[in-house]
Amino acid sequence: MGWGIRGRLLHASWLLWLTLLVMGPAMGAGAANERVLVLGDSLSAAYNMPTEAGWVARLAERLGPDARVINAAISGETTSGARARLPDALERHQPSIVIIALGGNDGLRGISPAAMRENLLAMIDRSRAAGARVVLAGVRLPSNYGTAFIERFRQVYRDVAERTDVPLIPMLLADVAEDPSLMQADGIHPNQKAQPIILETVWSALAPLLESDPAAPAAD
C-alpha cells in the first residue's frame, strides 16, 4: 500500500510522539524535585576548568530543570572541614541526596585513616538524620605513599560503606586516573575530557537512589 510523502511524514511523527510518550516518564523518573548536595574537594570543584565543564554541572544537566544540584566542593577540603560545614549546608539546602567525595586531602596530608573514618561516618549519620540518602565516593592516593598506607586508606571507604550500607563508588576517578590523556599536568586532577567519564561513574551509584525512599539512620 502506498503511503505517499505526507502519509509517511504523518506516520513518522506519530511514531516519534509515541516514543516520547513511553520514554519520557522513564527518562525523568525519580529526578524531579531531587536536591543533590555534593561534598567534595578539587576533584569535584571543576579545578582549573570552567565550572560548567565539571562533572557536577553535567550531573545537573542530566537530572534536568526540576532537580537542583548544589556543588559544595572546595579545593583542598578535608573530611574534618566538610564535617564542620555539613550542618549548615543541610539546613540551608535541605538535600534529598548527599554525595560525599572526600578523603584525598586527608591522605595527602597524612591524616589518620581512623580520623577520616570517624568523619565520614559522622557525615553519613548527620545526612541521614536530615532525611537524605547518601552516596560515598572513594579516591586514590599516589603510589609513593606506600602500599600499607594506601591499603589502610582504601579500606576506610569499604568499612564505612559496609557499616552504613550506603552505595560505594570505590574510585571516583575509575577509568581516568591511570590514563595520562585524561589527567592534568600535575597527575592528580582530571582534565575536562575526563568529566563525562566521572559523571558516568557517579551515575552508576546515584541512579538507583533516584526512586528509592530515604535511608534509615546509620546503625551504631
94 in a domain, yes or no?
A: yes
Model confidence pLDDT, tens digit, residues 57-75: 999 999 999 999 999 999 9
206 domain-assigned:
yes
Contact 177, 140 (CB under 8 A): yes
For the chain, give the mean pLDDT. Answer: 87
Same-domain check for residues 99 and 130: yes
Residue 32, pLDDT score: 72
Domain count, the chain: 2
Q: Give the model confidence (pLDDT) of 80-107 as tens digits.
A: 999 999 999 999 999 999 999 999 999 9
Q: pLDDT at residue 149 above 60?
A: yes
> Is 215 a residue whose pLDDT tops 60?
no
Do residues 61 and 4 both lie within one domain?
A: no
| Catalytic residue selected from 143, 186, 213, 220 | 186
Give the C-alpha separation, 84 to 22, whole Å. 45
Do residues 110 and 19 both lie within one domain? Answer: no
Residue 216 lies in a domain: no
Note whether residue 162 is domain-resident.
yes
Same domain, 21 and 81: no
pTM of the model: 0.83
Q: Clarify whether residues 36 and 22 are in a common domain.
A: no
Do 23 and 52 have their domain in common? no
Return the residue matching grid coordinates 538524620: 129
The answer to whether residue 125 is domain-embedded is yes
Identify the band that residue 21 occupies on the pLDDT scale cut at 50, 70 and 90.
very low
Q: Do 91 and 132 fall into the same domain? A: yes
Specify the higher pLDDT residue, 140 or 49: 49
Same structural domain, 15 and 84: no
CATH code, domain with 131: 3.40.50.1110
Q: Are residues 72 and 123 in the same domain?
A: yes
Is residue 119 located within the same domain as residue 77? yes
Q: Which member of 44, 96, 127, 189 is catalytic?
A: 189
**Do 109 and 74 share a structural domain?**
yes
| 54, pLDDT greater than 80 | yes
Strands across the sheet containing 133-137: 68-71, 35-40, 97-101, 133-137, 168-169
Task: Please answer whether residues 171 and 157 qualify as being in contact, where contact means their C-beta atoms are separated by less than 8 angstroms.
Answer: no
The domain in which residue 131 lies consists of: 31-211
Query: Considering the domain boundaries, does residue 219 fall inside one?
Result: no
Residue 1 has pLDDT above 70, yes or no: no
Are 180 and 74 found together in one domain? yes
Largest alpha-carbon pair distance within the chain? Answer: 76
Q: Note the pLDDT of residue 144.
A: 87
186 catalytic per annotation: yes
Q: Please pick, among 41, 42, 106, 127, the residue that the annotation labels catalytic.
A: 42
CA distance 173 to 87: 27
